Amino acid sequence: MAVSTRPTSGDSPARRYRARHSRTQILRHVSQAIFAGIILTAAVVHNLSTMDGATPSIDALCPFGGFETLWTWIVSGGSFVPKTHLSNLVLAAGLLLAVLVSGGAFCGWVCPFGALQDALNWVRTRLRIPEIHVPQALDRVLRYGRYVVLTLILYKTATTVTLMFADIDPYRTLFSLEWLFDFNPTEHLTAYVAALVVVVGSLLVERAWCRYLCPLGGAISLLGNLSLLRIRRAEATCKDCALCERPCPVKLNVANAETISSNCIGCLACVQACPRHDTLAVQLAPAWLPRRKTPVAQPSTGD
């Protein structure tokens, strides 16, 4: 099965620009705005509520909380790490299913923190602030940061049965809106500084948090190796122009890959940017299945 969302002819810069902002990207941004809106609404309602526990906090709406509490829930026969709930486990199970089908699309279409970073990147381009490009060798090393953070958090949560890092989690600091309703630099200085560093970092380096530090992104990337849908590149029709790599928010190697890395967030910008029909396409082709040989064929469009 191939799902191509890219234009069918021409490859002028103007066309590529339009392609980047085509219907798929608008749909993606609408989806991101809806999920960010849900989380922010829950945060406002929770902050305005005068009764303890009457409304869910954003902690209860985070799938990562499900991964954090899973071990405790299993070994204790149904208890939860404080601040996590059954809703976290349900959301984690839903996310797991989604990842097994569509890889990292959660990060490109759902996660409010991803949406915030896309918004920061938009602000950076509007303000003409130069982007910092991390050298490839350093980028490769820094990407392991997510797995280090993931391992540390899961280990510490399982052994201490507390969310040790929740108080400095930049996602929680920013989206709980407690800084707005109850600004308290004396008590939360570390959390504010951590959130500020991540915001400034993501303003200067596109999707810096997602690429280097997010533990949930790390878990999604590991599980994404099993996903049914993957973006594949047909070597036979690829003209090695690397236009597909330019719009990639997480700076992946698309132009030389056969199957795109499980770090992909499924934004489909590369598929749209490719000037050759069906050279990049989402395929029902899990990486663990043997590959079908791509027939050598004449390109149908693009030159």
Q: Binders of ligand SF4 among 205-224, rule CB under 6 A?
A: 209-210, 214, 216-217
Residue 21 C-beta: closest distance to ligand SF4, Å: 14
CB contact set of 10 (below 8 Å; sequence gap of 6+): 275, 301, 302
Q: Is 166 in the site for ligand SF4 (CB under 6 A)?
A: no
**Residue of the chain from 252, 255, 281, 287 that contacts ligand SF4 (CB under 6 A):** 252
89 vs 214, beta carbon nearer ligand SF4: 214
Q: Is 61 in the site for ligand SF4 (CB under 6 A)?
A: no
**Residue of the chain from 264, 274, 285, 287 that contacts ligand SF4 (CB under 6 A):** 264
Site string for ligand SF4, 111-140 (x = CB under 6 A): x-xx--------------------------
89 vs 95, beta carbon nearer ligand SF4: 95
CB contact set of 94 (below 8 Å; sequence gap of 6+): 63
| Residues contacting ligand SF4: total by CB under 6 A | 24
Q: Is 170 in the site for ligand SF4 (CB under 6 A)?
A: no
Residue 76 C-beta: closest distance to ligand SF4, Å: 27
- Tell me the three-class secondary structure of the chain, residue by residue: CEECCCCCCCCCHHHHHHHHCCHHHHHHHHHHHHHHHHHHHHHHHHHHCCCCCCCCCHHHHCHHHHHHHHHHHHHCCCCCCCCCCHHHHHHHHHHHHHHHHHCCHHHHHCCHHHHHHHHHHHHHHHCCCCCCCCCHHHHHHHCCHHHHHHHHHHHHHHHHCCCCCHHHCHHHHHHCCHHHHCCCHHHHHHHHHHHHHHHHHHHHCCCHHHHHCCHHHHHHHHHHCCCCEEEEECCCCCCCCCHHHCCCCCCCCCCCCCECCCCCCCCCHHHHHCCCCCCEEEEECCCCCCCCCCCCCCCCCCC
Q: Is 150 in the site for ligand SF4 (CB under 6 A)?
A: no
Q: Which residue is nearest to ligand SF4 (CB)?
A: 217
Q: Is 153 in the site for ligand SF4 (CB under 6 A)?
A: no
80 vs 113, beta carbon nearer ligand SF4: 113
The region of 11-19, 23-31, 134-142, 259-267 touching ligand SF4 under the rule CB under 6 A is: 259-267
Residue 108 C-beta: closest distance to ligand SF4, Å: 6
Q: Is 254 in the site for ligand SF4 (CB under 6 A)?
A: yes
Q: Is 266 in the site for ligand SF4 (CB under 6 A)?
A: yes
Q: Is 39 in the site for ligand SF4 (CB under 6 A)?
A: no
75 vs 93, beta carbon nearer ligand SF4: 93
Stated length of the chain:
303
Q: Is 250 in the site for ligand SF4 (CB under 6 A)?
A: yes
Q: Which residues contribute to the site for ligand SF4 (CB under 6 A)?
A: 107, 111, 113-114, 209-210, 214, 216-217, 231, 247-250, 252, 254, 260, 264-270
